[in-house]
Structure 1
Amino acid sequence: MRAVADAEQHWIPWMRRALALAALADGHASPNPLVGAVVLDSSGALVGEGFHARAGNPHAEVGALAQAADAARGGTIIVTLEPCCHHGRTPPCTDALIKAGIARVVVALTDPDPRVAGGGLQRLRDAGVEVIAGVLEAEAAHQNRAFLHRVRTGRPWGLLKWAMSLDGRTALPNGASQWISGPSARTWVHRLRAQCDAVIVGGGTVRADDPLLTSRGLRSPEPLRVLLSRSLDLPVQAQLWDQSVAPTLLVHGQDAPVEAQDRFDALGLQRVVLQACDPDSLLAVLAQRGCNRVLWECGPGLAAAALQQACVQELAAVVAPKLLGGESARTPLGLLGFQTMDEVVVLQGLRQQRLADDLLLQATLSRLSDPC
């Protein structure tokens, strides 16, 4: 066991490099995972590296092998996720590794996709390739938490974000809310959107704030803007209706007036009708569209519903050094129906970061993390 541990220690710096390569595609690879790969020749020298840039593009292993060329024969590949062994948009990576004459494969994480799920590693072993698995497994799982969650649950990973004052208000009693946070925090939000496949709001947010919901050009194409509205009681003019900026998906209930549906059809908006117009049903639609990670930027009612239906796994709150006051002022969350402290949502892994004068708090949910 000691020899195995020492061998794993040897590969850790190279796996960190592979993880850094994988991160270059954050926000672009969905519905695929983030994957990075490094190829060393038989003497241990770096001869190739690659990452999976987006769905349909060559996988990380293939890109790294292309760089390495003949130097890969007898060498080692370090890859953040188990190589695939099935035909999808691209051929199996296991076949490419065997053909290239790779002698050793070092892997961080086993792929939970049922089409792989250990089959890729077994295919390599059967071909006489040495396999070392589990190197920096926790780091790789964290990096691909959104992909892993969607594969295991059938729902995208949900991140709920809000900005509030130090006294916990997201707007004044009259509804005014721009701007609670400062420019640095707003720039951070643009980067966050660029890492997500969809940004979700409700009708109340559109009526109150008329948001644009883009990354301001940090991602191309922009994330899908999603509006969840039971009744389609929405303004005639809104920034979300301009799809030259970013695509918009309008999701609503069956009882929405036909004239309202026709009006939005005339604007060229994509529409989806849900039998149950709720967060869980919406996420089923977004999973089918290949979304791994979605951002909830909604008002208190929809945010509470998303929490109650286990559609949120991560929380980000920007706290501004301001006091808004007022008992009727809007807060980030609507009623969750708890009666005792034993019922409340508990956060874990709390971390903080300064964004100029604002404070960013981030955490994951320790309960309500699996779909109903």
Structure 2
Amino acid sequence: MRRALQLAARGPATGPNPRVGCVLLAPDGHLLAEGHHRGAGTAHAEAAALAELAARGASAAGGTAVVTLEPCTHTGRTGPCAQALLAAGLARVVIADTDPNPAAAGGADLLRRAGVDVEVGLLAEAAHALNERWAAAVARGRPWVTWKFAATLDGRSAAADGTSRWITSAPARADVHRLRAGHDAVLVGTGTALADDPALTVRAPDGTGEGGQTGPQPLRVVAGLRELPAGARLRDGRAELVHVRTRDPQQVLAVLAAREVRTVLLEGGPALAAAFARAGLVDEVVAYLAPALLGAGPAAVADVGVSSIADALRLDLAPGPDAVVRVGEDVRVTARPRARPAGERAPDPSHPPVVEEVARVHRDR
């Protein structure tokens, strides 16, 4: 199973499908074949392993399949993996994690009913961590939202005159492009799009090229009602652009979910961040903090309805050793909103969400 997890990690971190690995073992336990999912439209891990075996003219009959995610039962871009394992004559299937997608789940039960010995839960925690954001997006019916911002130690995202080049160091800005590359879409409001004319592409540290991006560029998303000018960099054709003409964060995510977008990097600025935070639609916060003080200027986030310290939106550091990391001269902090205990008062929801931004916040701090 550890080998299957290693194989799964080779798959793309973005896209509509999970990362899955599979190892096929003969009845005596020796390795027959292995495979992993390489992205949407390609063979699933089980099918890839079976195809490798078939190419050698070998058989998996009576053997064991070790897979990191429950074999699917539906026909999408590819056929159902549970049926493929049955057709191959596997006697035993060991599964790490169950599939949260109701359209694809049920493979374990299907195999059991057919007489296959099925075990579920081996290294389940590691398997779940590998696909955590994908699983959350599928279970919630909306993309996982990461809010990224850069600020001084006193929480300013720009100076009083509106300038923000550069709050953070070059290594931190390069790290933002790494962060972008790990998401399906990058989202800003029309305020930022009009004020900053951002490109929202993954670029190299010097601002050119593709920044080591090997897959497709993230989808560029603008939320709000105002039109973008014909000459805007977002219309340069380097990546697809979607303009969602609404100020409602829920509607924005519904549009993206319909496009099978699983992860969104929210880069739009204080008003956009506040709208998503107020709606409870931020899953993770990545803050780049520069050792500088401004004393005045726009804050990193606008009003989120907190009127007292008791109402504060508390966060916990993300699991793992990278929750707090020095990046160049700056510090990157990754945290997640804390679930409120039963009965605890949430922030006042009386203010309507506003996605269209009115403050200038630089696109690439």
Class of the TM-score when normalised by the shorter of the 2 chains:
0.7 to 0.9
SS of match in other structure, 1:281:
helix
Q: How does 1:315-334 map to 2 (within 5 A)?
A: 315-323=285-293, 325-327=294-296, 329-334=297-302
CA distance 1:185–1:19, change in 2 (3 Å)? farther
**Structure 1 unpaired stretches of 5+:** 1-14, 254-276
SS of match in other structure, 1:25:
coil
Distance 2:119 2:232 in 1: 54
Q: Any idea what the Cα deviations from partners look like across 1:240-264, whole Å, max 9, x if unmatched?
A: 1211x111111224xxxxxxxxxxx
SS of match in other structure, 1:132:
strand
Q: How many pairs align?
A: 326
Deviation at 1:26, TM superposition (A): 3.0
1:252 is aligned to 245
Q: Of the candidates 75, 82, 100, which is equivalent to residue 94 of structure 1? A: 82
Q: How does 1:116-127 map to 2 (within 5 A)?
A: 116-117=104-105, 119-127=106-114
1:22 is aligned to 8
Q: Any idea what the Cα deviations from partners look like across 1:257-284, whole Å, max 9, x if unmatched?
A: xxxxxxxxxxxxxxxxxxxx21111000
Distance 2:214 2:180 in 1: 8
- Tell me, yes or no, if structure 1 residue 302 matches structure 2 residue 278: no
1:74 is aligned to 62
Deviation at 1:68, TM superposition (A): 3.2
Distance 1:27 1:144 in 2: 8
Preserved CA contact (<8 Å) 2:12 2:39: no
Q: Of the candidates 111, 131, 148, which is equivalent to residue 99 of structure 2? A: 111
Preserved CA contact (<8 Å) 1:173 1:330: yes
- Richer in helix (by share): 1
Preserved CA contact (<8 Å) 2:61 2:91: yes
RMSD: 2.0
2:233 is aligned to 239
Q: Any idea what the Cα deviations from partners look like across 1:296-339, whole Å, max 9, x if unmatched?
A: 0011001000111122111111112223x132x12210011112
Q: Any idea what the Cα deviations from partners look like across 1:114-136, whole Å, max 9, x if unmatched?
A: 2233x210111122221111122
Kindly provide the amino acid, as one letter, of the partner of residue 236 in structure 2: D
Distance 2:160 2:295 in 1: 6
Q: Any idea what the Cα deviations from partners look like across 1:338-370, whole Å, max 9, x if unmatched?
A: 1222322121234212222221111221238xx
SS of match in other structure, 1:249:
strand
CA distance 1:16–1:340, change in 2 (3 Å)? farther
1:261 is aligned to none
More moved, 163-172 vs 284-293: 163-172
Distance 2:221 2:259 in 1: 12
SS of match in other structure, 1:333:
coil
Preserved CA contact (<8 Å) 1:299 1:333: yes
Q: How does 1:1-372 map to 2 (within 5 A)?
A: 15-28=1-14, 30-69=15-54, 70-117=58-105, 119-216=106-203, 217=210, 218-232=213-227, 234-235=228-229, 237-243=231-237, 245-253=238-246, 277-323=247-293, 325-327=294-296, 329-350=297-318, 351-367=323-339
Preserved CA contact (<8 Å) 1:345 1:367: no
TM-score calculated relative to the size of structure 2: 0.84
Determine which structure has greater relative contact order: mean sequence separation of CA pairs < 8 Å that are 6+ residues apart, divided by chain length: 2
Query: Once the two structures are aligned, what percentage of the paired residues are identical?
Result: 46
Distance 1:76 1:221 in 2: 35
Preserved CA contact (<8 Å) 1:283 1:311: no
**Structure 2 unpaired stretches of 5+:** 204-209, 341-348, 350-365
Deviation at 1:175, TM superposition (A): 1.4
